[in-house]
Structure 1
Amino acid sequence: MKALVLSSGGADSTVCVALAVEKLGRENVATVSFEYGQKHDKELICAQKIADFYSLKHFVLSLENILKFSDCSLLKNSTQAIEHKSYADQIAEKGEGKVSTYVPFRNGLMLSSAAALAQSIYPEEDCEIWIGAHADDAAGQAYADCSSEFTQAMD
């Protein structure tokens, strides 16, 4: 069994990397990160450092071309500023639903792309795809693609 872990370099995905390595051994784990037009590259740098720490093969895929039409505040091409408020504050002000930093179907795109990558790099082996979506991000539908319902549907 192989594992391909979606790695943003943040706490949630780093825990997934550590758990995959513990469960399957480093020789059976690879990580993947995504360039999606984000305003910062810190997450890509951190994801590479995590892969290096565990001596894992690391892939970087681009979703920039797909997301270039979005005006999400997290993206370089956006006309919006990032709101530096908690999701709870944003939802209290505007009601439930997507927050300004929601990147359209980002987790869906990442999971689909990871599935294609897994079939490409492990054509003859079973491969699990691991994602560490933070449950608080799904609260109030701030990031609907972080909900357990979304993950189950993608599974």
Structure 2
Amino acid sequence: MEIIAVNKKARDYHIIETYEAGIELKGTEVKSLREKNVSFKDSFCRIKDGEVYLLNLHISPYKHASHFNHDPERPRRLLLHKREIKRLAGRLSAGGFTLIPTKLYFNDKGIAKVEIALAKGKRKYDKREEIRERELERKLREYVKYRGR
């Protein structure tokens, strides 16, 4: 598995479930992904007419393409099983949840996949607590590293 990009903003959410989805791409988009020219900034997923779409994912135009290049922020359809889409739609309609992309990668067969997560937004105090825990863990690792000498 070759990871192309990771959504760092996904830390601002409590992740409930994750799904692996195929992504419908054009040829120049795949070539651009191989060069890792992608940004998750403000990207999210929506369900429309029984299909899941990935919106605001920026894949830079392929620099060696001609006039057949793609629109960098076009909506891209995600490929999921119908039962998964129905389950996601049910959970989203309950309220308080959102669908966010967390990771974009090529699987072992070279096919582009996106990991999407059913998530719930964190409150400010949750974020502060997480930062405190990360710093404590970092200091502990540093202490053990220098203590071992």
Query: Greater helix percent: which structure?
Result: 1
The two structures have a TM-score, normalised by structure 2, of 0.27
Of structures 1 and 2, the larger Rg is shown by 2
Q: TM-score, normalised by structure 1?
A: 0.26
